[in-house]
Amino acid sequence: MDNSKRYKTVLNRFDQLAEDLAKHEVISNQALYRKLARERSELEQAAGLIRRYLELGEKIAEDRELVSSSDDPEIVELASTELEEFEREMEELEEQINLLLIPKDPDDSRNTVFEIRAGTGGEEAALFVADLARMYRLFAEGKNWKVEVLSSNPTEIGGFKEIIFLISGENTYGKLKFESGVHRVQRVPVTESGGRIHTSAVSVAVLPEAEEVDVDIDPKDLRVDVYRSSGPGGQSVNTTDSAVRITHVPTGMVVTCQDEKSQHKNKAKAMKVLRARLLEKARSEQEEEIAATRRSMVGTGDRSAKIRTYNFPQGRVTDHRIGLTKHNLGEVLGGDLDEIADALAIANREELLRKEMGTRQKAGEG
């Protein structure tokens, strides 16, 4: 498929953006300037590869002309060898460029609301919730992202029935969105005296943080209840009604928060979680086709799909969606998630590329 025409359009847009960013009216409009600068930054890597691709196209045409017209066997041999190398490089460039030109998820740049809940496995599952929360916190800190706990429900021996936190920073959702799904752990629980390996499960939901402008919440649709905070075992840990429970009546969604001593702070945190959940619900309804594609590839919080297994006896981590197995469990739980996250992102982009190419071929392009 000859992509030269499409690539030239992208290159022209990249060059045009450079001219636009130098205009006084753009410089004076900071919102527009940031928007155009971000677009040019996103095209920069692809533009460099496209220039090389188009340059190779010209060289290939010259070598083909030499091969077909020259009477000198030595020149023909040299041109043929060079032609073979150029064509191989051009094919590799085409694959890289196409991947870079896949439209980005507009939510990738958003902050991320993380929800981790204990599933099957009782107290052992709750302990693994704490392990995963620590893993994601260390991963975030390694990237200089900010982590803020929005809500938690701790157990008596150090685990969590549920923990919800906000991760703020550059491209957090784009990096973490493929963590949604069921995470399975295989190990000997601390509560097991016989040394038997148990399998427990924890669900992870990764949601883009919603801004107030994204989700219109009518205060009349909210029922807000306040009560005294409670700790493990149900004992009261606060003498005032600072804990907050918000019910979104139209959807039945319920969010609670009791981590802060201030009722106002708990309500603000609960509203962040509610907005994120309502945004995800709206996205799922409006973009079902996209959601189905992502679910089939890497999941979007579908709790029925076991996406990853952490096997302690073998020191192994396996991501079942892409068949990736790593024997560095300790490092992964210590926050070393980049290799897995990058592999999932690449697999997703390749799947999107296959679908895009199929669509373009059906439309008669190229």
CATH code at position 184: 3.30.70.1660
252-270: pLDDT as tens digits:
999 999 888 888 899 999 9
- What backbone phi and psi angles, to 5 degrees, belong to 201? -135, 145
Q: How large is the average pLDDT for residues 349-353?
A: 80
More confident residue, 229 or 303: 229
Q: Per-residue pLDDT for 291 more than 50? A: no
Residue that finishes a domain, picked among 75, 101, 127: 101
Asked if 142 and 208 sit in the same domain, the reply is: yes
More confident residue, 223 or 196: 223
153-177: pLDDT as tens digits:
999 889 999 999 999 998 899 999 9
pLDDT for the residue numbered 299: 41
Asked if 295 and 175 sit in the same domain, the reply is: yes
Asked if 92 and 168 sit in the same domain, the reply is: no
Q: Per-residue pLDDT for 239 more than 70? A: no
Residue 325, in any domain of the structure? yes
Q: Which residue range(s) make up the domain with 85?
A: 4-101
Residue 226, in any domain of the structure? no
Determine the residue type at 211: E
With H, G, I as helix, E, B as strand and everything else as coil, classify residue 179: helix
Asked if 31 and 175 sit in the same domain, the reply is: no
Residue % of the chain over a pLDDT of 90: 51
Asked if 42 and 78 sit in the same domain, the reply is: yes
Asked if 59 and 122 sit in the same domain, the reply is: no
Query: What pLDDT band is residue 279 in, cutting at 50, 70 and 90?
Result: confident
Asked if 198 and 146 sit in the same domain, the reply is: yes
Pick from 176, 134, 154: nearest CA to 338: 176
Q: Is the dihedral of CA 109, 105, 333, 273 positive or negative?
A: positive
Residue that finishes a domain, picked among 82, 101, 120: 101
107-160: pLDDT as tens digits:
888 889 899 999 988 899 999 999 999 999 999 999 999 999 988 999 988 999
pLDDT for the residue numbered 241: 77
pLDDT for the residue numbered 318: 96
* Secondary-structure breakdown of the chain: helix, strand, coil percentages, each rounded to the nearest 5: 50, 20, 30
Residue 277, in any domain of the structure? no
Contact 255, 245 (CB under 8 A): yes
Kind and range of the H or E run holding 172: helix 172-176
Integer Cα distance of 64 and 80 in angstroms: 8
Give the burial class of 363: count Cβ atoms within 10 A of its Cβ; 0-12 exposed, 13-18 middle, 19 or more buried. exposed
Asked if 191 and 46 sit in the same domain, the reply is: no
The count of structural domains within the chain is: 2
With a threshold of 0.75, does the pTM exceed it?
no
Asked if 208 and 305 sit in the same domain, the reply is: yes
pLDDT for the residue numbered 58: 93
